Chains A and B, each alone.
Chain A
Amino acid sequence: DAGVTQSPTHLIKTRGQHVTLRCSPISGHKSVSWYQQVLGQGPQFIFQYYEKEERGRGNFPDRFSARQFPNYSSELNVNALLLGDSALYLCASRDGPNSYNEQFFGPGTRLTVL
């Protein structure tokens, strides 16, 4: 298993555009979480999905949305991009929804907004 995979690796967009980031969890993992990591900061929680349902949402505007598919892969969508959305977006998967289930992180997608 390659672990959690994310695509694309890097992305450059301009202000006002929208972006879709993709994540494939470890086989058998049903929970996917998204984090935003701005340079010099720790990861900040955006969303958690478990069994295709949203189980948690961080303090992010409605421009951010996500979904989980029947195969447990996930997409993070960001509309009306702002310069401040430039960050590393991390996806993490675990085999259950609870905090005692270890989270495994992907390599991230580096988004640059110009």
Chain B
Amino acid sequence: AQRVTQPEKLLSVFKGAPVELKCNYSYSGSPELFWYVQYSRQRLQLLLRHISRESIKGFTADLNKGETSFHLKKPFAQEEDSAMYYCALSGPGNTPLVFGKGTRLSVIA
């Protein structure tokens, strides 16, 4: 079964501290992994995907197939990073997104 687990509902960090949002997945095969973000009063938007291997707003995520994880990291948190973060996966081709329950990141000044 396809499943995405985000173990933390809420993560609070101080400004300038490192951030790691955890994501573990269950999928038989090679999934595509994504991180979506929802800022206050804004719509859900794509932050990054593992196939592009790029850094967006200072965030990176590495796919670890052995640990079936796709943790989101940022070395120095900023107040504007406060938001709801969702990890998601899909299979290849025409398959829908499967989301985790989300982690609320709160960056404290």
Contact = CB atoms under 8 A, between A and B. Distances in A.
Interface of A: 3-4, 33, 35, 40-45, 48, 50, 55-56, 58, 90, 97-100, 102-108
A105 B47 CA distance: 13
Interface string B57-101: 000000000000000000000000000001010111111111111
Interface residues on B, range: 20 to 34
A26 B48 CA distance: 20
A4 B91 CA distance: 24
Interface of B: 4, 32, 43-46, 49, 51, 86, 88, 90-102
Contact of A99 (B43, B44, B45, B94): B94
A95 B47 CA distance: 18
Nearest to A90: B44
Contacts of B44: 43, 90, 105
A18 to B, nearest CB: 24
A49 B99 CA distance: 19
